[in-house]
Chain A
């Protein structure tokens, strides 16, 4: 199953490279925050899946709202002249590591 997930990620990357989309430079920052939020959601989902507390609705809604909120926060920060995106970077970054650590422990316990 995990192999399949990884395969999906690869296919996504391939599609992304083929897509003729080029974001304007000003939006690159927001997109990168969005990517970070999405990464966090995915790891959170995998962790929940392993803990058997996975809820489909929570996962999908978390993915969408986190991504949009992070990008929106970065945008708001730019308007306010405040580097608000750092808040998103720190929160998502630390959560990423946390989730990764838990996933690692589960895997080690399992095998």
Chain B
């Protein structure tokens, strides 16, 4: 009799165990991990496609711009307008430019991080670049590029995960910021006491400022699109 009830309870417990096993099995199968893996593969594929598309479009933009320039050059009557246009393009960052200026190189600290220190203090962040660019603008820079990405009016400098995006392109250290302007003023603007360079050096980040007689800055690589704004009617 005791054995009979024992059998029944073992059966019931086995039933419960079966349910638990199945639920657990289902869970580990549907676990987030698998989903995430599949999703990241898919996203990587899409990213590669889009990156290729972007590169080919960027080449197209530059060749089309050259075509426009050559058409305009053939017409003498519009010489005045061309001059205007060239200036406007330069201001918009659509022309590669050169001139005297500075080259600022920023890099992460080579110091080994101690146990009680925050490793984030020893790497270059988006806001460090942003502040250097801002300082250069304040010191009268006429054209600025960060790792060959031309800074235009709509450019962003933004942290995205472990990389920094400029003009939606990923850039990584070392960050080379080129600026055209009066080299002396640009340099002293950056190196001012209590300024950005002093602060970066305090965290033992690598900062180099090089004055240069000839700094080349590339044109903005993508198309400038206006989806929402249009000229105001007079």
Which residues of A pack against B, CB within 8 Å?
1, 4-6, 8-17, 19, 21-23, 25, 28, 31-32, 34-35, 38-39, 41-42, 45-46, 49, 54, 56, 59-60, 63
Contacts and interface: CB of A to CB of B under 8 A. Distances in A.
Contact of B15 (A1, A12, A34, A59): A12
A19 B2 contact: no
B18 interface: yes
How many B residues are at the interface, by size bracket?
Answer: 20 to 34
B159 interface: no
A99 B190 CA distance: 75
B162 interface: no
Contacts of B16: 12, 38, 63
Given A16-B18, A31-B27, A49-B7, 11 more contacts: A8-B12, A9-B15, A12-B16, A16-B20, A17-B25, A25-B32, A35-B20, A38-B13, A46-B10, A56-B2, A56-B6
Interface in B90-141: none
A16 B12 contact: no
Contacts of B24: 23, 28, 31-32, 35
B193 interface: no
Given A8-B15, A11-B15, A56-B2, A38 B10 contact: no
Contacts of A5: 7, 10-11, 14
Contact of B23 (A8, A11, A16, A59): A16
